[in-house]
Amino acid sequence: MIALSMLAALPLLLWLVQNALLKLHGLPMRWRLDARQAPPSVRLAGRIATQLGLLAVVMIYPLAIGQRPTDYYSDLLPPTRETMHFVHGFAASTLFLCVLFGIWLATNRLQIDVHHSRRKWTRRLLLLVPTALLGALVEELIFRGILLADLIRISALPREAAIAIGAGVFAIAHYVRTVKRRWTFPGHVMLGVLLCIAFTQTGQLWLAMGLHAGGIFMIMGLRPFVRYRGPAWLTGASIFPFAGLIGIAGLLVLTGYVLQHYGVP
C-alpha cells in the first residue's frame, strides 16, 4: 500500500517541523499537531509544510508506480465530455445543500445573522470559487486519485474494502490536527463514502471533484451570514452541516443517486 504509507508519513513530518520550531522559540514540545497559541511562524511553517508534503505525494506517487505524473493524472482528469460529470456533481451537491438549508430556515434551525465584518465576508466571497476548486482538486487527487486508486489497482483490494478504508482515512485526516469538535467524524466518513463511490463508479475524478467543490462553495459561502440554532446532532454546525443526522441522511440519498445514475466503468 504505497499511497497509504506515504500519507501516513505526512503527520510525522508535520510533527517534526512543529516541534523543531517550538524548540527554536524555547517552547516545550507538543505530542499533538496543535499550533494554537503558538508563535505565528510556527503556524505559517505548519501550513507551508502541509502544502509541500501534499505536493510531494502528488508528484512522487506516479513515479513510484512507474508512470509519469502527466500521464497518470490525464487518465484521472481526461479532457473529454466526461468533464460534464464535474458540472453534474457540483449541481447535485449545491441542490442538496440548498434543500437542507431551506428546511432549517423553515423550521427555525438556522438564523440569518451577518457575524463577519464587511471586509472579511467580501474577501471570502471573492476567493470562494478558487477556494472551492483548489480545495476539491487537492483532496480528490490525494484521497481518491492516489489513495483509493492505489487500494484498488495496486493493492488489489475488493472494491467495498477499498471504499471503507479510503473513506476512513479521508475522515481521520481531518482530525490529525487538534480540532474543536470530534462528533462530526461520522459525517466525514459518510462524505468519504460518497466521494469514493463517485470515483469508483466513473473511474475518473470529475464527478467526485464536482460534488466536493459544490459542498465547499455552499458551506463556505453561507458561513459568514448564518448561525446554526441546533441541536448540533440534528443540524450539524459551522462548516460541518453534513455532520448532523439530517445531513448524513442527505449524503446517503446522494450516494444512492450516484450508484443508480452512474454505471461501473
Per-residue confidence (pLDDT) for residue 47, from 0 to 100: 87
Q: 204's torsion region: left (phi>0), alpha (psi -120 to 50) or beta?
A: beta
Closest CA to 261 of 89, 90, 137, 144: 89
Collapse the DSSP code of 91 into the 3-class scheme (helix H, G, I; strand E, B; otherwise coil) and give the result: helix
Would you give the DSSP letter of residue 151? I
Q: For the chain, what are the domain ranges?
A: 1-66, 79-261
Q: How far apart are CA 7 and CA 45, in angstroms?
A: 19
C-alpha cell at 176: 490529525
Buried b (16+ CB within 10 A) or exposed e, 20-54: ebbeeeeeeebeebebeebeeebeebbeebbeebb
pTM (predicted TM-score): 0.93
Alpha helices in the chain (DSSP H): 2-24, 40-64, 69-76, 84-106, 118-126, 128-140, 149, 159-173, 185-202, 206-222, 232-235, 245-261
Buried b (16+ CB within 10 A) or exposed e, 75-87: ebbeeeebeebbe
Residue-wise pLDDT for 145-187, tens only, equals 999 999 998 878 899 999 999 999 999 998 988 777 788 899 9
| Residues 134/138/140/143 CA torsion (nearest 10 deg) | -160
Q: Give me the tens of pLDDT residue by residue for the chain, a chain 265 residues long.
A: 789 999 999 999 999 998 998 988 888 988 888 878 888 888 888 889 999 999 999 999 999 999 999 999 999 999 888 899 999 999 999 999 998 888 888 888 888 888 888 888 898 889 999 999 999 999 999 999 999 999 998 878 899 999 999 999 999 998 988 777 788 899 999 999 999 999 999 999 999 999 999 999 999 998 888 888 878 888 888 778 888 888 899 899 999 999 998 875 5
Would you give the DSSP letter of residue 240? B
